[in-house]
Structure 1
């Protein structure tokens, strides 16, 4: 089915319910649907074969998702933080697009494209001749570019069937309480932003948008709008925790807080749980190619891990939980052998929500429909999934493969470490050496040898960082993923000698 049917169902169930709050704009479900019909008319009249959106999101994201669907034209939200050259390089890869752009990014888009301002599009949608065409379920509904931190971004094609199978398989229709509200601050060009718009509407939950993240403003919106659920990335969670500690504030309406996008340090998770004991925490893991979440660590899982005395159960706080309905997972060795519990290999996933298809490349699913995630992972005896990072991040030191996450999990537990990233830097003797990039806890001055000894006491000597360097913060993208390539490039300009590993 087309994603536009999700809006139609939501309108039928509650036409007068507030669907979107974005700054001063408030739309009911019926008003959003009417605008989507008019927006589809604007798109159809343009003759464009694709819609691109360059902007910070808010109400424009759900509007363009549904308007494009009703015009049977794919839509691509683009990373507005890119340079003008980077932005245009992506626009040039889209077929004959209509570019909808927020005013502040018009100069970056430049000339040479069929362009309409976001406010102008909204006004036109109010008066345009409506269009409502049901797209083929197998047609491409959304195209998202991967972050491209190490190579040219890939254009991931998500069909209407991929997206609706995810929503209908993981969300109960009209299940929200009348006062439920979701605070959305993830960027529109990320799969989490797309899935938040679709899933909250389908559940019947008011969507409150915060387009420019500020931790103090986030806390104020939770209180002012009676927010009951929210999704954040690690850097956001860290700043929110700091505000909560400083203000001594509680968030009495908040019932669920999901975090994901990249790995969250366990000390931060434990601190957040202690500050918000009544909140149900959710760790959600997914990929663009899988239409969002494929595994979830539920609130009950969090509480069980915190209360457990068994080491295996305690460890599950660092997992991403168990697969969502409709998703199958396998861990495979390099030769394709399916591995058992506790054995580390590459994660493969399969299900209706999994696309695995790229523009100009085609499908990378194998003959049985399995998608290679490129993530290193293992399953424990109870089926909990542990992610060990990207296979591309593996450090090969003297012929030995070393997973950075293994060292990071130990290092971040040191009382003087706030955050860290472990990467491989070029070395003429070892091929690569292990470099720990550390963000210190405020008011501390960690000793390098103490940090190295801390790692050596818990892991094999070959896992001891060869170098430890300090930074005020780690470079991350908008979803909190550490830009490891930036660190590696920087470190390779400063080839200091390695310290002895033992």
Structure 2
């Protein structure tokens, strides 16, 4: 199935409000018409691909569907990148047409490719000769670049079939209740932003965009637009809960709040469950290469784990749940052996929504179609999936492999710790030493030896951090992933905080 068909199906309810962003409100019928006109604009410019540099809102679903209707690939780029970094990525795309928000005009001015400002594109789409092609399902629909924090960004290729398999496998068409609304604040260049535009439109929910995240504005929109569901990354969830604690605000319409993008500390999850008891929380785990979510810990699982007396059941609150329909998972040892319950190894996944394909590299799927996620993981006896972080993050101290997550999970439960990241720092004697970077609870100055002793009470001595340092906050990507390499580089610097 083509991505373009998802909008055509949704347009059967043409008068329904489809997108809200600032002062713009489009019905699904209007979005459908603009997508056809937008395809005409793309086609008339002779573009080989479409690039977007901007904050999203109406432009994100419009460009996704206009590009699909023009049978061109679509690539939203990180608007926070420098002109030089953007140029390096754009040079890897075929004959790009750059669509940009006005605030990024100076950044894209010298990029050397064809350009059109977002408002100009909207105006042109309203009057252009419409184009409506339906590409082959195996054609590439979207190209997303990985963050590239440790290496050259990879260009992940997602086909129409990958994306529509995810949507149709996880969402029932027109299943939303009348009046349902989804609040979207994840970045447009992230897979969660792309999948939110596709799945919410297909389900029949009004999409309310918050282009620049602010916790107070998020709460205001959730109230005024009667938002029923939302998706946030961990840093956003933390700020929303902090704001609600300071200024309690009823959110009577909110039924579902999904979080993902990186690991969320369990104390924050518990606090959110207690502060918003009427909301169903969802932990969604996925990767760019898998077209978004591949495992979910749903509301009932959250409530059961939070209320459980049994330790194994309570532990599931830290899992990412179970695979979504159409996804198979395996945990493999280094030699490829498939491991059993509770055995830690690398997570492999398989399914129609899984791409595992990169521009300039090709497919990295094995002969049986399995994708190596590079995530350390294990399954419990009931099939709940636990993610232990990236295999690249493993600390090798004196020849012993240590997963940072197991130490972080212990430290973050200390009453004086708000957030923590454990990283490996080069050391002449041990190869690497383990450093815990702790964000303390406000107005608290923890004792490093007390924190180290706390770890020793629950883990063997070799898991005790060699050093504990303090920061006001952890450096993260816009999707909440901790920049571990940056921390490690800072800590090995002669000027690092002791």
TM-score by length of 2: 0.99
> Residue 426 of structure 1 contacts residue 495 of structure 1 at CA under 8 Å; is this kept in 2?
no
Determine the structure 1 residue equivalent to 2:134.
Answer: 134
Determine the structure 2 residue equivalent to 1:227.
Answer: 227
Determine the structure 2 residue equivalent to 1:275.
Answer: 275
> Residue 231 of structure 1 contacts residue 257 of structure 1 at CA under 8 Å; is this kept in 2?
yes
> Residue 21 of structure 1 contacts residue 207 of structure 1 at CA under 8 Å; is this kept in 2?
yes
Question: Displacement of 1:250 after TM fit?
Answer: 2.2
- List per-residue Cα deviations over 1:55-79 (Å, max 9, x = no partner): 0000100000000000000000000
Separation in 1 of the partners of 2:304 and 2:23?
41
> Residue 250 of structure 1 contacts residue 276 of structure 1 at CA under 8 Å; is this kept in 2?
no
Determine the structure 2 residue equivalent to 1:108.
Answer: 107
Separation in 2 of the partners of 1:88 and 1:60?
21
> Residue 394 of structure 2 contacts residue 401 of structure 2 at CA under 8 Å; is this kept in 1?
yes
Determine the structure 2 residue equivalent to 1:79.
Answer: 78
Determine the structure 1 residue equivalent to 2:288.
Answer: 288
**What SS class does the counterpart of residue 325 from structure 1 fall into?**
coil
**What SS class does the counterpart of residue 355 from structure 1 fall into?**
coil
Alignment of 1:230-249 (within 5 A): 230-249=230-249
Separation in 2 of the partners of 1:135 and 1:496?
53
- Are 2:314 and 1:314 aligned? yes
- Are 2:163 and 1:172 aligned? no
- The range that moved more, 139-148 or 79-88, is 79-88
**What SS class does the counterpart of residue 410 from structure 2 fall into?**
helix
Question: Displacement of 1:309 after TM fit?
Answer: 1.4
Separation in 2 of the partners of 1:448 and 1:308?
32
Alignment of 1:94-105 (within 5 A): 94-105=93-104
**What SS class does the counterpart of residue 62 from structure 2 fall into?**
helix
Separation in 1 of the partners of 2:326 and 2:44?
38
Determine the structure 1 residue equivalent to 2:6.
Answer: 6
Separation in 2 of the partners of 1:460 and 1:88?
49
Separation in 1 of the partners of 2:86 and 2:320?
33
Question: Displacement of 1:494 after TM fit?
Answer: 3.5
Separation in 1 of the partners of 2:497 and 2:101?
49
Question: Displacement of 1:40 after TM fit?
Answer: 0.2
Determine the structure 2 residue equivalent to 1:252.
Answer: 252
User: Matched residue pairs, number?
Assistant: 497
Determine the structure 2 residue equivalent to 1:415.
Answer: 415
Separation in 1 of the partners of 2:315 and 2:4?
41
Determine the structure 2 residue equivalent to 1:40.
Answer: 39
Separation in 2 of the partners of 1:336 and 1:497?
41
Separation in 2 of the partners of 1:415 and 1:304?
24
Question: Where does structure 1 differ by over 3 angstroms across 4 or more consecutive aligned residues?
Answer: 494-498
- Are 2:330 and 1:330 aligned? yes
**What SS class does the counterpart of residue 75 from structure 2 fall into?**
strand
- Are 2:338 and 1:348 aligned? no
Gaps of 5+ in 2: none
Question: Displacement of 1:107 after TM fit?
Answer: 1.3
- List per-residue Cα deviations over 1:411-459 (Å, max 9, x = no partner): 0000000000000001000000000000000011100000000001100
Separation in 2 of the partners of 1:282 and 1:358?
29
TM-score by length of 1: 0.98
Separation in 2 of the partners of 1:496 and 1:305?
40
Separation in 2 of the partners of 1:204 and 1:248?
30
Determine the structure 2 residue equivalent to 1:207.
Answer: 207
Alignment of 1:350-389 (within 5 A): 350-389=350-389
Separation in 2 of the partners of 1:88 and 1:80?
12
Separation in 2 of the partners of 1:214 and 1:198?
24
> Residue 490 of structure 2 contacts residue 496 of structure 2 at CA under 8 Å; is this kept in 1?
no
Determine the structure 2 residue equivalent to 1:23.
Answer: 22
Determine the structure 2 residue equivalent to 1:148.
Answer: 148
Separation in 1 of the partners of 2:45 and 2:387?
45
Determine the structure 2 residue equivalent to 1:474.
Answer: 474
Separation in 1 of the partners of 2:355 and 2:494?
41
**What SS class does the counterpart of residue 293 from structure 2 fall into?**
strand
- Are 2:463 and 1:455 aligned? no
Separation in 2 of the partners of 1:494 and 1:488?
12
Separation in 2 of the partners of 1:130 and 1:95?
23
- List per-residue Cα deviations over 1:351-398 (Å, max 9, x = no partner): 000000000000000000000000000000000000000000000000
> Residue 427 of structure 1 contacts residue 495 of structure 1 at CA under 8 Å; is this kept in 2?
no
> Residue 491 of structure 2 contacts residue 497 of structure 2 at CA under 8 Å; is this kept in 1?
no
> Using a 3 Å threshold, how does the CA distance of structure 1 residues 497 and 105 change in structure 2: closer, same or farther?
closer
**What SS class does the counterpart of residue 207 from structure 1 fall into?**
strand
Question: Displacement of 1:496 after TM fit?
Answer: 8.1
> Residue 469 of structure 2 contacts residue 497 of structure 2 at CA under 8 Å; is this kept in 1?
no
> Residue 165 of structure 1 contacts residue 353 of structure 1 at CA under 8 Å; is this kept in 2?
yes
> Residue 397 of structure 1 contacts residue 434 of structure 1 at CA under 8 Å; is this kept in 2?
yes
Determine the structure 2 residue equivalent to 1:88.
Answer: 87
Separation in 2 of the partners of 1:495 and 1:123?
53
Question: Displacement of 1:110 after TM fit?
Answer: 2.2
Separation in 2 of the partners of 1:390 and 1:449?
28
Separation in 2 of the partners of 1:250 and 1:153?
42
Separation in 1 of the partners of 2:76 and 2:221?
25
Q: Alpha carbon RMSD of aligned pairs, Å? A: 1.0
Gaps of 5+ in 1: none
Determine the structure 1 residue equivalent to 2:437.
Answer: 437
> Using a 3 Å threshold, how does the CA distance of structure 1 residues 496 and 159 change in structure 2: closer, same or farther?
closer
**What SS class does the counterpart of residue 262 from structure 2 fall into?**
coil
